[in-house]
Structures are given as structure tokens and as C-alpha cells.
Amino acid sequence: MPPVAEATGPFCTQDFLTVVASYDDGEEILAASHDAFLALRGLDDTILFAGDGDVTDYHSPHGEGSEALIARLAEETSVDRFLLDSLPEEAAKPLVAGLTHAGWAVDTRTHEVAAVLHLPESVEQYMTELGKKERHEVRRKRRRYERMVGEVRHETHAGPGWAFDEFLRLHAAAEGDKGRFMTPERRALFADLAELDGWRFDLLRTDDDTAAAIVFGYADGTGYYLYNSAYEPADSDASPGVVLLGAMIETAIAEGRARFDFLKGDETYKFRLGARRRPLTEISATREPTP
């Protein structure tokens, strides 16, 4: 069954959910009917989506019968709360309707935004739409990178191997929270995802055969989805991350992709590169007390 929300990349696929569910806290709950499916988990007295929101950028029910399925689950469950995060607007609607129909008190809020760049048919059109100021910045940073680091050599690698090792190295080299991000559990998660179809590493290779910047993401027929990134701190003045993103956007346009999804987060650089906000809803529902 397709997810209710379109353009959710890997996050509502069986492969992804199977991997991330193995890292979840709580008990797996698979709710299904002939025309709907929900991948959930129970934690304490709450039902959540499978796939923690910190590692899953989009959630969505599957199938046309999602409203009836969540209503039935709400009527039958013994828990007192649903907390459902990371829902595009079209995915939140049937869940809100179903929980309301079951008599639960439902609150919604926009708790995150994704940043989505809708790609034109040519690089020239993209640069025109980007605007004079930002177009100048993209070109200036590329020239500075070429002057300070060398030729822009954009490569794509799949699976574990040298690129994955470079990804880990650059994370470890980062300062602050970024440098502490790659815990053993997260390293194992990224290794598992790297084995799946569609996932890949994009990087800028230097003359020293190291990566100046690297991105881990996923590509399918709906677009490219940027999951995580790192860059060489010693090359920070050359803006290798921005230069790599520029090269990747050009590649995505050449490949005929419709979107370049930066996923969760409202970092300024995403919008300077032309992205638009995609609000994500969190549903909090509690059981109405019996009169």
C-alpha cells in the first residue's frame, strides 16, 4: 500500500522501517486492514510511530482506509495516549479524523519543517530562479574552493567501504555536538542503511584522496533526500559543504529528478539554495474520560 503522503523518500518503505524499528524502544505494533497499514510501537502508556523522530524525517499511514484503521485501534487499545510525529499535512488529516471519530481529544501542532527544493528542468533555470545575490554566492564559493582546495570532483559511492569510512572520519573530526553525534549505535544504524538499495554517499574528493565534504542520502523516482552530512574542518573556509550541495543539485537536475529534499531542519543555507518549507505535524491524542 502506498503512503498517504507523497514524496516521503525511504522513510515509509519496508526496508527503512525494518532497520530503524530494530533500534526503537518499546514494543512493535503493526496495525493493518484490507486497505490500510500503520507501523507503530508502544512505549509505556503511549503509542508512537515506528522509527524515532530523531532518525525518521517523515511518517505517514499507508492506504485509503487509514482513518478507519486508526479509529478502530483507538477504540480497542488500552493505552491512554497517541503521540504521532513528523506528518506531512495530507498524512495527518485521516489520523486526526479517525482519532476524533473514536472520541479522543486531539491536539495538533507544527513541530518541525522539512526544506524542499523543487527542481526545474535545467541548471540555467535553477540559477536564474535562485536570484542574483544567492547565484553570486554559489559561484563565489565554488571559485574559492577551487583556489583553496582544488578541482571540484563530485563522486557518488554506494554501500560500506572507503566513503563510509570517510563519513565516520569527518564526523569524528567535527567540534561540539557534531563530533559527538556518531555514537556506536548510530554508527551501526548508518551501516545498516548503507546496505539498502537507493542509499548513497556523495562527496568531494581531494588530491590527497580524502573527502572535503560528504553527504549520506537516498534517491528514488520522486527525488533526492539528504539524510546526513559532514565536512573537513580544516577546509571550512572553502565552504566544501555548500560547494558539494551545489554539485549535487546540478546532478539531480541532470538526472531529471523533481525535488531535492533537505529533510528536517530550518537551517538558513537550505533556503538560500532555493528550498521551501514543508510543515510537519505532531498529533497528540488522549482518551476522553468516561462520563
CATH number at residue 202: 3.40.630.30
Q: What is the mean pLDDT of each run of 10 residues along the chain (291 residues)?
A: 96 96 93 96 96 96 98 95 98 98 97 98 95 94 97 96 96 89 94 97 96 98 96 96 97 96 96 97 88 54
Q: Which sign does the torsion angle of CA 235, 241, 243, 248 carry?
A: positive
Residues 283, 224 within the same domain: no
The backbone region for 134, taken as left when phi is positive above 0, alpha when psi lies in -120 to 50, beta otherwise, is alpha
Asked whether residue 9 is domain-assigned, the answer is: no
Residues 97, 139 within the same domain: no
CATH number at residue 54: 3.40.630
Residues 128, 247 within the same domain: yes
Residue type, 217: G
Asked whether residue 268 is domain-assigned, the answer is: no
What is the domain range of residue 231?
120-257
Q: What was the pLDDT predicted at 290?
A: 56
Q: Is 144 helix (H, G, I), strand (E, B) or coil?
A: helix
Residue type, 212: A
Residues 102, 227 within the same domain: no
Q: What was the pLDDT predicted at 133?
A: 94
Asked whether residue 266 is domain-assigned, the answer is: no
Instruction: List C-alpha distances in Å: 100 to 31, 169, 187, 285.
Output: 18, 48, 40, 9
Asked whether residue 263 is domain-assigned, the answer is: no
Give how many domains the chain has, as a whole number: 2
Residues 163, 43 within the same domain: no
- Specify the pTM: 0.95
Residues 224, 99 within the same domain: no
Distance of CA 90 to the CA centre of its chain: 17
Residues 94, 151 within the same domain: no
Residues 96, 138 within the same domain: no
Are the beta carbons of 86 and 9 closer than 8 angstroms? no
Q: Which sign does the torsion angle of CA 259, 265, 271, 272 carry?
A: negative
- The CA R_g of the chain, rounded to the nearest whole Å, is 21
Asked whether residue 271 is domain-assigned, the answer is: no
Residues 87, 128 within the same domain: no
Residues 99, 225 within the same domain: no
Cα separation, 278 vs 265, whole angstroms: 10
Asked whether residue 3 is domain-assigned, the answer is: no
